[in-house]
Structure formats: C-alpha cells, structure tokens
Structure 1
Amino acid sequence: MAENKGISKLMIIIIVLLTLLIGVGGFLGYMYIKNQPSAPKPKTEKTMAMDEFIVNLADQDMRVYIKAKIYLAYTDTKIETEIKEKMPQIRDIVITTIRNKKSSDFDGKKLENIRKEITNKINSTLMTGQITNVYFYDIIIQ
C-alpha cells in the first residue's frame, strides 16, 4: 500500500507539471502569434471612367479608327481630385499615344504595352499619387 501511495503522489506531481507546461506553452504561443506583425491589407483598387475616345490610328494604307472606353485605376483616393482637375491633359496623353499606334498594336500582348505606356505617361504628370493601371473597357477598331 505504501508503494501505491508513492505512485499516486508521483502521478499527481506529473499531471500538475504537465498541466503547467501545457499552460505556459499555450500562453507563450498566444503571445508569439499576437505580437507578429499582421500582413498589410491589400488596397482596394478604384476606377475612374474617362469619356469615350474616337481616334484615327496610324495605319498607312487606309483610314482606321478606334473607339475606346478607358478607365483609370488607382488605390489612393487622394489622387481623385487631381485626376479630375487634370482630365484634359490626361485625355490628350491618351489620344496622342493611341493616335501613334496601328490597328495591329491592339492585338494580344501588345495591348499590355500600350496600357503600360499610357500609365507611365499619365503618372509623370501626377503629383499626389499614381494610377496603377489603365483598363480598356470597350475597344472597336474599324
């Protein structure tokens, strides 16, 4: 019987120690996770529509027109006022850029290059922020 008392006291001590160890481990894990820097939330992209464009293209053998609806994308709302104020300059950038393209430039991957070119040119005129992309909503080439 004395042996059973020794074993039961030892079991109680082991259980108490395991409980304390699990509790301390859980607390330390919680503190570690709590103090980790949270990943920045992705910014929501907003868009602003531009008026529709009808522009002659640079095809040499025939008259070719493009009709396009374009949206400017941005994530910083501070830029909205500046975009509205500079819309005449922005439209001029877009028209001038598109006018120098041929109808074949609007195929597949080449369209991505036009987007980047327009985005870079517009961003060079903006002071309070940058647009993130130019989206062609509608394109008709005739």
Structure 2
Amino acid sequence: MGEPEDIDIESGEEQQQEEQPREGFSIGKLIEWLLANMIPVIIAVVISIIFIVIYVNAQISKKSEEEYETHKLSAKPDPKAIFTLDDFKVNTADRDEPHFIRVKFYVAYDGENNKLQTELIDRKIQLRYIILSILNSKQKMEIDTNALKEVLCEEIKNAINNVLKYGEVEDVFYDEFVIS
C-alpha cells in the first residue's frame, strides 16, 4: 500500500507542475531583458563617443594652434627699384562659392638695369595678364594664409621672369590683399 501513496504523491506533483504557467513570450520579460542587457551597452557607447569627441577636439585645436603660429619672416634686402602693377580685382576659381580678390602687386628689380625698367613699362599689360591668369586659377583655400600668399608671389615672380628678356624681377610684393 505504500506504493499507491507514492504514486499519488508523484501524480500530485505532476499536477502542480502542469498548473504552473508555462514560460512563453512576454513583453514584460522582453523589456526586462533589454533593460538588463542593453543599458550597459548604451552607456559604453555614449562614453566612447564622449572620449572620441574630446580627442578629436584636442587634435583640431592642436592643428589650429600650429596654423596660427607666428611665422618669422626673414627680412628681405631693400630692392633698388619698385614697379607698380596697379590694382587687381578678380574672381577666384571656386565653383561652390565664388570669392572676390582685391590686391595690388609691386615687383622689385635692379634699378640700374634701364633695359629691364623699359621692358617692364612696355610689357605692363602682358604682366598684368599673367597675374590675372594666375589669380583666376586659384581657389580661396589656395591663397588664404600668409604662407600661401608668399607661394603665390613666388609663382608670379617666376611667371614674370619667364617672359622678360633683359633681366629678372627680384621679388613680388602685394598690398591690400583682400578676399571676400
């Protein structure tokens, strides 16, 4: 008789297990799981983004500090003579947002070379055309710093010297270099 009681007890346990609700899909459990597992991931992503932003800002500020460092320009010897090429008013080569340049150029040359002085006067229109062509080919970002303006002056000097027959200009200077 001990056996039937054991069977009844076991069958009673089976009935209790069957009466318990089975685990199935539940929105509440899904939300609980998401909160338990996703919040640490979201926090880690946010912290990573904050560190990335701080790092990028530090790099940008270093670059801007380097860009705005004072460049010590070497003093150039006084030229013997200056030839004025008048004002230039030119549009840049920028396609997205055109800019306007207003600048006045001067060339320095050996004042004792009378043939060169005469040639500069005679070729003034040609020299202006050369400079206009160079300026028209430049975008704002190619001429917006002092170092880039010096490169531009060197380019103009070389272009002018390529057409001169009786000497060379020693340097090119600018006045009122305005980009708008």
Whether the TM-score (by the shorter chain) exceeds 0.5 is yes
Structure 1 position 74 matched with structure 2 position 109: yes
> Which residue of 79, 83, 86 maps to 1:48?
83
Aligned residue in 1 for 2:98: 63
Aligned residue in 2 for 1:83: 120
> Which residue of 79, 89, 95 maps to 2:132?
95
The 2-side partners of 1:92 and 1:44 are apart by 24
Deviations 1:13-72 (A, max 9, x none): xxxxxxxxxxxxxxxxxxxxxxxxxxxxx8843111112000010112112110001101
Identity among equivalent positions (%) equals 29
Following TM superposition, by how much is the alpha carbon of 1:130 offset from its aligned partner in structure 2, in angstroms? 0.3
Gaps of 5+ in 2: 1-76
The 2-side partners of 1:47 and 1:113 are apart by 20
Change (3 A) 1:126 1:54: same
Following TM superposition, by how much is the alpha carbon of 1:137 offset from its aligned partner in structure 2, in angstroms? 1.1
Following TM superposition, by how much is the alpha carbon of 1:112 offset from its aligned partner in structure 2, in angstroms? 1.4
**Structure number with larger C-alpha Rg:** 2
Structure 1 position 139 matched with structure 2 position 177: yes
TM-score between the two structures when normalised by the length of structure 2: 0.53
Change (3 A) 1:43 1:140: closer
Q: Relative contact order, CA 8 A, sep 6+: which one is greater? A: 1
| Two-structure CA RMSD over aligned residues (Å) | 1.6
Q: Structure 1 residues 71-80 or 114-123, which shifts more?
A: 71-80
TM-score between the two structures when normalised by the length of structure 1: 0.66
The 2-side partners of 1:126 and 1:44 are apart by 18
Q: Which has the higher helix share?
A: 2
Change (3 A) 1:43 1:56: closer
The 2-side partners of 1:91 and 1:84 are apart by 11
Contact 2:108/2:171 (8 A) holds in 1: yes
